[in-house]
Amino acid sequence: MADPARQMKHNQYIVIFMSAVLLLGAVNAVMVTADEYDPGFYVWFKIALDAAMTGLLVVLLVAVARGADSGGPKGLALLAGLIGLAAGLVKLAARFSSEHGWWTGHFNYALG
């Protein structure tokens, strides 16, 4: 059986890492202008991946908030998790912002 304290510490580091990935993707979606469409299967894959990461981040945030001991990386994990949650929602919002956004995952589109 796994040690619960050790598992909780791993969850905190996973929250921080997932938040960093989502934040980098959100910055890319906002700051970079897309110039080509992705293939259909890749669009669906990225939407599913973003939705899964955002949903799993919510689950892990609740687990860390309820179960982790104060101190250590808990504060950083909670802060990063909230930022990552907002970033995940931004990434999903980019897909639903326009026809170009659906295919590119970016808010801005221009032919290159």
In this prediction, residues 9-19 reach a mean pLDDT of 94
**More confidently predicted of 23 and 8:** 23
CA quadruple 54, 59, 60, 65: dihedral sign: positive
Q: Is pLDDT at 1 greater than 70 in this prediction?
A: no
| pTM given for the model | 0.89
Q: If we measure between CA atoms, which residue out of 76, 75, 78 comes closest to residue 58? A: 78
